[in-house]
Amino acid sequence: MSFLIENWIPAVMALVSGALLLWPVLQRGHQGGAISANEAVRLINREKAVVIDVCEPAEYAAGHVAGSRNVPLSKLDGANNLPSNKALPLVVVCATGARATRAVAQLRKAGHANAQALAGGLKAWREANLPVEASKDAGKPA
């Protein structure tokens, strides 16, 4: 105890630095597990994550994350184009991130424990200058 009293400045510095290291982890928990565009790219490149876009087909056709699969939120339950390997990381995307957060909850209930929403959605992806593609027939009348 006398050591802490005599060395209170380093002890306080150690506590503050530990708190600063924990801050990002605590913040991520409050965002419902949403990840940044950079973290999504890391998951895609290093852990073979699959990108699931939960926008409606017309929104998806107008623009989506390159290589993503379109599974509209309304058809997520029982969708057959989700990965069969439920341990595979999933990055769930929508226009702004709101629907993706709801989709993550559904996917986790279905056993996809590694599903995470992209914070900010496609908007954040575009702002990070990451590849977006559009369907060839986007904008054409049906």
Q: What share of the chain is helix, strand, coil (3-state, %, to 5)?
A: 45, 15, 40
Cross-strand partners of 91 = 51, 116
Strands, sheet with 69-70, edge to edge from the N-terminal-most edge strand: 69-70, 50-53, 90-93, 115-117
Q: Of all helices (H) and strands (E), which one includes residue 19?
A: helix 8-30
Per-residue pLDDT tens over the stretch 74-118: 999 889 889 999 999 999 999 999 999 999 999 999 999 999 999
Q: Quick check: helix, strand or coil at residue 116?
A: strand
Check residue 31 and give its pLDDT.
45
Which pLDDT band, with edges at 50, 70 and 90, does 1 fall under? confident
Per-residue pLDDT tens over the stretch 21-69: 876 666 544 445 699 999 999 999 999 999 999 999 999 999 999 999 9
Check residue 138 and give its pLDDT.
54
